[in-house]
Amino acid sequence: MNFLRKVAITGTKGLVPRNGGTVALRHSSHFVYQPDAKPPVEGPTQKMNMFQAINQAMDLALEQNESALVFGEDVAFGGVFRCSMGLQKKYGKERVFNTPLCEQGIAGFAIGVANTGAQAIAEMQFADYIFPAFDQIVNEAAKYRYRSGNLYDCGSLTFRAPCGAVGHGACYHSQSPEAYFAHTPGLKVVVPRGPNKAKGLLLACVRDNDPCIVFEPKTLYRAAEEEVPIAAFESPIGQADVLRAGTDVTLVGWGTQIHVLQEVATMAKQQLDVSCEVIDLVSILPWDKETICNSVKKTGRVLIAHEAPLTNGFGAELAATIQEECFLHLESPVLRVTGWDTPFPHVFEPFYIPDKHRCLAGIRKLIDY
């Protein structure tokens, strides 16, 4: 690639001096993190990144309930993302411990201890590796209450799983599998956008009466920093957050994608004079139909963006419901901007993810319809 080609792709800000010349750098982060405007509850706060907020949430869970357990692959020394760092030293090997490399076994054990009344926090090292545990989660955990006629349940069972694009993860460390589990009655599925949501959602899941999955966008573990309340608090499951009010287009996303959409909303206002309402869905199952539909009825246009592939991604469920509930209010068809229907690529990741440029082009399409 020649020098002018590098400039065209990266811009001059992507060029750095090296060995008497210039070299184009590839910026792996496709978003600019947007912290929450204020903490979710009153009281003392501490600046934390997302893995620190998750660590504190598990610390509080272990402190407040003697039955709480934290386990998974490598969690004893802190885990690959350091989320459980220091917990075994504080609470002992009987409450924070490693498991074999067997996701099916991790899930089966988690279901068993939760059924006895313990609070089980099980880590799947990557969401990509949760599939060997799929049968245990979908056919056992999700159905335990139903098939026993409410005599038994495995509530207080939480699976944590790092998910999503990270810049270099390729097909086995970048997937977003939320739609697989959203098809399962009996589960609850949430995706935090930053430290405050990660802490609040994790504590809400740990205390919930149904089994929960927290998909944690791994690229946010260190990129996301906020002032986080030190005390325990819960973020409601099933409630979306309107992060930015608007009148012309509704933008819906979750996890890392919400930061892309917030930047896109600013670009749309500056370049197109289009006012966008940005909504973080937060909870995949159950999801907040009322908030989404009320927004779409107001704006008449909606763009849904997620990293998972287009076909049967969770955006399809949103689109179908919006079409049913808001049809007479729509000024244009529901538009989805997503990952492509291919395995998640490595070197071609920048072309796969629904970045700000693809989303802005989608807004143009909605307005021009």
Residues 6 or more apart from 12 whose CB is under 8 A from it?
A: none
Pairwise CA distance, residues 241 & 18, whole Å: 45
Residue 141 confidence (pLDDT) above 50: yes
Going by their DSSP bridges, the two strands 157-163 and 283-285 should be labelled as unpaired
Cα 23 to Cα 3, 16, 76: the distances in Å are: 8, 5, 41
Query: Which CATH number fits the domain 45-229, given the four candidates 2.40.50.140, 3.40.50.300, 3.20.10.10, 3.40.50.970?
Result: 3.40.50.970
- Is the pTM of the predicted complex or chain greater than 0.75? yes
User: Are 146 and 119 a contacting pair, CB within 8 Å?
Assistant: no
CA 221 centroid distance within chain: 11
Residue 1 confidence (pLDDT) above 90: no
**pLDDT band of 21, cuts 50, 70, 90:** low
Secondary structure (DSSP) of 2-22: -HHHHHHHH-GGGEEEETTEE
pLDDT over threshold 50, residue 5: no
Q: Is the pLDDT of residue 16 over 90?
A: no
pLDDT score of 2 more than 60: no
* Alpha helices, DSSP H, located in the chain: 3-10, 50-64, 87-91, 103-115, 134-135, 144-147, 178-182, 195-206, 220-223, 257-272, 289-299, 314-326, 349-352, 356-368
pLDDT in the model for residue 155: 85
> Could you read off the pLDDT of 311-352 as tens digits, one per residue?
999 999 999 999 999 999 999 999 999 999 999 999 999 999
**Residue range 3-26: mean pLDDT, rounded:** 42
Q: Specify the pLDDT at position 27.
A: 52
Q: Which of 353, 281, 357 is nearest to 319 (CA)?
A: 281
For 83-110, write each residue's pLDDT tens digit.
Answer: 999 999 999 999 999 999 999 999 999 9
Domain boundaries, the chain: 45-229, 241-368
pLDDT for residue 325: 98
pLDDT of 8 > 90? The answer is: no
Closest CA to 284 of 362, 214, 196, 223: 214
Looking at the predicted structure, is the pLDDT value of residue 204 above 50? yes
Q: Is the pLDDT of residue 14 over 60?
A: no
Q: Are the beta carbons of 334 and 301 closer than 8 angstroms?
A: no
Which fold, 241-368? Rossmann fold (3.40.50)
CATH topology identical between 45-229 and 241-368: yes
Measured CA to CA, the distance from residue 247 to residue 222 in angstroms comes to 33
Task: Give the pLDDT of residue 159.
Answer: 98
Residues forming the active site: 103, 173
**In the chain, pLDDT over 90 holds for what percent of residues?**
90
Q: Which residues contact 83 (CB under 8 A, 6 or more apart)?
A: 51, 54, 55, 58, 75, 123, 160, 221
Kindly state the average pLDDT of the residues 131-135. 98
Calculate mean pLDDT across residues 150-156: 89
Backbone angles phi, psi at 8, to 5 degrees: -60, -35
pLDDT in tens, 158-186: 999 999 999 889 999 999 999 999 999 99
Categorize the per-residue pLDDT at 19 as very low, low, confident or very high, splitting at 50, 70 and 90. very low
Structure tokens at 22: 């210039």
**Which segment of 55-64, 147-156, 257-266 scores lowest on mean pLDDT?**
147-156
Q: How far is CA 207 from CA 60, 303, 364, in A?
A: 12, 33, 43
How many whole angstroms separate alpha carbon 121 and alpha carbon 203?
10
Q: What is the pLDDT of residue 144?
A: 93
Q: What percent of the chain has pLDDT over 70?
A: 92
For residues 290, 292, 293, 295, the Cα torsion angle rounded to the nearest 10 degrees is 120
